[in-house]
Amino acid sequence: MSDYQSIMLLLFFIFPVMYMIDTALVIIRRNAKHIENRLAFLTICLLASMIFFQYLEQLLSAEYALNISAYMVYPASIAAVSMSVLLHLTATNSYHRLSRWSTIGIAFIPFIMYFLLLAIRGREYLLEGVRVEGFWKQIEVAPAMTVIYGFLVMYSLLNVAICLIAHYKANNSVDRKRFMVLFKANLFYQLATIGVLIVYTAFSPYVYISDSVIFLTTIIWSISLRVYMKNDFLPSTSKKYELLYHFSPTAIIMIDKNMIMKEVNPGALRILGFEKEEELENRSLSEFIVMNERKDMEEAFAASFPKDAWRNRELTIVNRKGQKRAILADTEMMAEGKDWFLLMVIRDITQQQEESRLIHFLAHHDTLTKLPNRYHFNRELEASLKAVKSSKALLGVMLIDLDRFKLINDTLGHQFGDQALIDVAQRLRQNVDHRHLLARLGGDEFIILIKEAEEYDEIVSLAENIHLAFQLPITLQGQDFYLGGSIGISVHPFDDDSSDGLIKRADIAMYNAKHSGGNQYRLYTNEMIALVQRDVKLEKHLRKALKRKEFVLHYQPQINLASGQLIGAEALIRWQSVELGMVHPGEFITLAEQTGLINEIGQWVIAEACQQGKLWQEQGWNDFMLSVNVSSRQFMQPDFVNKVQEILRSSGLEPDRLCLEITESMVVNNLNVARKMLDELVALGIHIAIDDFGTGYSSLSVLRQLPIAIIKIDRSFITDMDAYQGGLSIVKTIVSMGHDLQKQVVAEGVETLDQYEQLKQLGCDKAQGYYYHKPLPLLEFNKLLIAR
């Protein structure tokens, strides 16, 4: 071989080899970790080695040519084809169902076939000989090798099919585009191969490089691979960003200086409520901003463009579907050609905002009534106190505690308890305005902050209105309930300076209101603390009183007005406390009710009275009725009737000698339950009296429905009888209506002869009072009985 020929050969082969090695390096550098890049790299390396082997073949003497072809050139070329099929199948693997191993198997069939034939049939079966034409060595192939060639052609066509199918199956635009590029590259390769074949055939025998069909097409294939890379076929960093752009849930919009949208990603389409990019093209972003923010946004945009970027700018948009979305926009300037554009990244924070609003609401509100909660109230109180300290205005704290809420909860269940609280909240809401803050402290406690009042009277009149609101019943399950509310008020600057102090003092005032029978309001005074302190002391000792046998019963005689005969007595409890001395029921009954001690105490009273009654019964006091007071909490015990029955049984007292005194509010507040219990008690043979009649809210029509035998007119009416004209007629009316309803009427608190005579004249049945006797200790009462 001449020097000239050697140089030509070198140039002829080494340039393509270098070109291919360069291509392979470019590919692997784009992304060395990605499988597609690795496969493409291997394919090109194999092709490069194949060309290098061909160069060797031409360089060395003819005796080596066949072996080089059989063991180097052909294996490298077939392996390259297999590798490229593998590359295609791997790149499209989301769109076919072949496993990894089957793709490898399919890809390497020609390669395996070739080596099997080589091993079993020998080299001669594939390659017949070598023909030297000038300095060029031409391998003559056997028919078997032509079959393998055929396979290779089929495989290259298979590649065309794979990318075409994947292109149509692709479910996203990125993949579609990618497979189209791949398809075009393959097509280019096919056409180029045909072109080379035509040239070869046409110029044969002048062009004697028949063997180099593979050689040329290889180079073409390598060029085409490089071409698709340019078209971003193979994974690369910019590819990654393109994918991010497409799949990111974040909206990315490119806008120009007039806010016209030039490019939008699918995330942006979604936020704006569109489906296709074209629909948004050349529309202004500001169209979507809500009216009241639009102008500000446009001005801010114009001012910042193109210098300043926006960070976390909150905006509200209304999309095509009419949905309002809260968004957070970040912007960055970018130049394209001579123009400036702005890349805006938008996050949808609607849900986040709704959640944080909800969290804020939950932290500041009571979920049941939707009123502000204690936390919110305290903050507002602090703030208002600060504000009011510089002005001369007053500030009020009004604490409201429901009187009979527990009753509803215990008898009707929590569901109705909740309903009652909601109703109360609604009623309170109607009485306050922007100058107040109404909150629920928890349980059945509400609180109102009067942020600023000019005069004391403003606070008092609010209290009056709220007190009035409690005089109307709440209807639950078709029944009316009178809940009643005890209200305590403290006022800054008179009562206290601090928020804690004001709440504490309102609480003390409320406690006083409750202690005085509830359903009233009280303004805080310093003396009230004494009551609380006394109650704390009372409660402490009350818990031990039963065990220490400190309770006794006094008996107040009851007189038949017509005959003047002693016909009964009311048992009244007294507490002879070691520490506190004699305590009257007015002082401790409410406390006993509040603490629940009343159940045990009341039980003791009934048992004690019944035992005494039995003694009198045995002593021959016939037609002598013993009255015992029952408190509402005691009465509402589910097993109250059973307990009474048990006491009657064990004491042996005739049931019709026993009268239980209940109050109007006990029955009216819970009519159905009360009626059932009263029926059961009456069925035992017991009498029922309504105590303190006239002070509650019951109407006579309600009483008509109940099995009540006796009405006890409250002492206040008896006192009023001679105080003013109308006083007498009220008593007269009660007596006559009572009789109309076939009830006995008893007058309480008769203190004077006048009262006695008037009552007698009115036809009142019985009377009790200091005019006859005060409540007497047992010994004295027994003396009285004997004297009679």
Q: Which residues face 437 on adjacent strands? A: 449
Both tokens of 254, joined, read 């490119």
Residue 631 found at the interface with ligand C2E (CB under 6 A) = yes
Q: Does 629 bind ligand C2E (CB under 6 A)?
A: yes
Rounded to whole angstroms, the Cα distance separating 157 from 546 reads: 105
Separation CA 388–CA 393 (nearest Å): 6
Q: How distant, in Å, are the alpha carbons of 415, 660, 680, 701, 709 from that of 687?
A: 34, 6, 11, 19, 6
Candidates 520, 556, 651, 758; binder of ligand C2E (CB under 6 A) is 556
Q: In the bound complex, what is the minimum distance in angstroms from residue 694's beta carbon to ligand C2E? A: 12
Cα–Cα distance between 424 and 446 in angstroms, integer?
9
- Which residues have a Cβ under 8 Å from the Cβ of 524 and sit 6 or more positions away? 488, 489, 490, 491, 495, 505, 506, 508, 509
Give min distance, CB of 556 to ligand C2E, in A: 6
Q: Token pair 């994947």 is at which residue?
A: 166
Q: Who contacts 104 (Cβ-Cβ below 8 Å, separation ≥6)? A: 86
Nearer to ligand C2E, 408 or 572 (CB): 572
Minimal distance in Å, beta carbon 576 to Mg ion? 20
**Which of the listed partners (Mg ion, ligand C2E, none) does 631 bind, with a CB threshold of 5 to 8 Å by partner kind?**
ligand C2E
Shortest Å, Cβ 723 to ligand C2E: 14
Q: How buried is 330 (Cβ within 10 angstroms: 0-12 exposed, 13-18 middle, 19+ buried)?
A: middle
For residue 396, list its beta bridge partners.
450, 491
Q: Counting contacts by CB under 6 A, is residue 626 touching ligand C2E?
A: no
State the nearest-atom distance from the C-beta of 606 to ligand C2E, in Å: 8
> In Å, how far are 249, 734, 745 from 739, measured between CA atoms?
83, 8, 7
CB of 629 to ligand C2E, least distance (A): 4
**Which of the ranges 235-243, 448-456, 579-587, 724-732 carries the binding residues for ligand C2E, by CB under 6 A?**
579-587
Structure tokens at 495: 């009562």
Name residue 554's beta-bridge partners.
Answer: 572, 777
Upstream peptide bond of 473 is cis (omega within 30 degrees of 0)? no
Interface pick for ligand C2E out of 36, 401, 550, 691 (rule CB under 6 A): 691
CB of 642 to ligand C2E, least distance (A): 19
Give the tokens for residue 312.
């976390």
* Residue 590 lies near ligand C2E (rule: CB under 6 A): no
With CB under 6 A as the contact rule, the residue among 266, 372, 568, 585 that binds ligand C2E is: 585
* 605 sits near ligand C2E (criterion: CB under 6 A): yes
Helix (H) or strand (E) holding 486: strand 485-492
Q: Which residues contact 263 (CB under 8 A, 6 or more apart)?
A: 253, 254, 277
Least gap, CB of 548 to Mg ion (angstroms): 25
Identify which of 673, 541, 568 has the alpha carbon closest to the alpha carbon of residue 622: 568
Classify residue 469 by burial, with Cβ atoms within 10 Å: 0-12, 13-18, 19+.
middle
Span from 57-65, 430-438, 559-567, 585-593 in contact with ligand C2E (CB under 6 A) = 585-593
Least Cβ distance, residue 470 to ligand C2E (angstroms): 22
Task: Decide: is 613 part of the binding site for ligand C2E (CB under 6 A).
Answer: no
Q: Kindly report the CA angle at 269 between 306 and 260, in degrees rounded to 5?
A: 30
By CB under 6 A, tell whether 435 contacts ligand C2E: no
Q: What region does 255 belong to: left with phi over 0, alpha with psi -120 to 50, or beta?
A: beta
In this structure, the strands spanning 744-747 and 766-767 are parallel
| 589 is a contact residue toward ligand C2E (CB under 6 A) | yes
Of residues 16, 417, 602, 738, which one binds ligand C2E by CB under 6 A? 602
Which span (112-120, 174-182, 582-590, 694-702) binds ligand C2E, by CB under 6 A?
Answer: 582-590
- The site for Mg ion (CB under 5 A) is made up of 629, 661, 691-692, 748
746 makes contact with ligand C2E (CB under 6 A) = no
Which of 175, 550, 692, 765 is close enough to bind ligand C2E by CB under 6 A?
Answer: 692
**Assigned token pair, 66:** 């066949």
**Contact partner, 589, from Mg ion, ligand C2E, none, Cβ < 5-8 Å per class:** ligand C2E
Stretch that binds ligand C2E, among 112-120, 323-331, 463-471, 623-631 (CB under 6 A): 623-631
Q: Residue 749 and residue 767: Cα distance in Å, rounded?
A: 8
580 part of the interface to ligand C2E, by CB under 6 A: no
Which of 105, 195, 413, 586 touches ligand C2E by CB under 6 A? Answer: 586
Q: How far is the CB of 405 from ligand C2E (least distance, A)?
A: 20
Identify the residue among 264, 328, 573, 762 touching ligand C2E (CB under 6 A): 573
Minimum Å gap between C-beta 670 and ligand C2E is 17
Instruction: Give the CA count within 13 Å in the CB-facing half-sphere of 162.
Output: 26
Site residues (vs ligand C2E, CB under 6 A): 556, 572-573, 584-586, 589, 602, 605, 629-631, 661, 691-692, 715, 748-751, 768-770, 775
